[in-house]
Amino acid sequence: MPVIKMAVHIQAPVQVCFDLARSIDIHMKSASQTQEKAIAGRLSGLIELNETVTWEAVHFGIKQRLTAKITEFDSPHRFVDELVSGAFQRFWHEHQFISQDNGTLMIDTFDYTSPFGIIGKAADVIFLKRYMLSFLTKRNEFVKKCAEEQVL
C-alpha cells in the first residue's frame, strides 16, 4: 500500500484553500492534461459530505472512469475522499488545512492499493507512484496559484 504525503504552504486564508481544494471546476482545470471532466454526481461547484463525483480522464492513453465519495468533512480543516469504483483497488485521500500566521499549510495524504496483486505492486515501483506524485503535485500547485491570486 503506497502512501504519498505532501505539504504546500499557501499565502491565503484557510477557507479559501479548503474551498478551492474541493472545487470540481478547479480540479478539472488542474487536471486538464488528462482531459479530466466530471460526468456524474457533483458536476460543478463545491463537493460536500456524502456526495460523489465520477471523473472521466485519459491516463496512460486509456480513457478511464473513477468515482469518489466525500466520506469525512470538517470545514475548513479537513475532508476525505474515498474510491467507490475505478482503476485502483482502493484509495483514501485526506486533505488537511492548517491555518498559520502567514497563510495555510495544505497537507495531502493519498493512501492507495493498486489492482492486480503482484503486477500492481510492480507497477507502483516502476511508474504508478511517481505518476501519482506528479499528478497530485500539479494539482496542489494549481490550487496554490489560484488561492494566492484570489487574495491579491
Give the domain range for residue 41: 3-151
Q: Could you tell me the CATH number of the domain that includes residue 84?
A: 3.30.530.20
Beta strands in the chain (DSSP E): 3-10, 37-41, 52-59, 62-74, 78-85, 90-100, 103-113
- What pLDDT band is residue 116 in, cutting at 50, 70 and 90? confident
11 vs 125 pLDDT, higher one:
11
With a cut of 70, say whether residue 152 has pLDDT above it.
no
The answer to whether residue 72 scores a pLDDT higher than 70 is yes
Q: What is the pLDDT of residues 6-57, one digit of tens each?
A: 999 999 999 999 999 999 999 999 999 999 999 999 999 999 999 999 999 9
Spatial CA neighbour of 143 closest among 110, 116, 107, 113 = 107
Cβ atoms 78, 72 nearer than 8 A: yes
Residue 70 has pLDDT above 90, yes or no: yes
Task: Give the rounded percent of residues in the chain with a pLDDT score beyond 70.
Answer: 99
Number of domains in the chain: 1
pTM (two decimals): 0.93
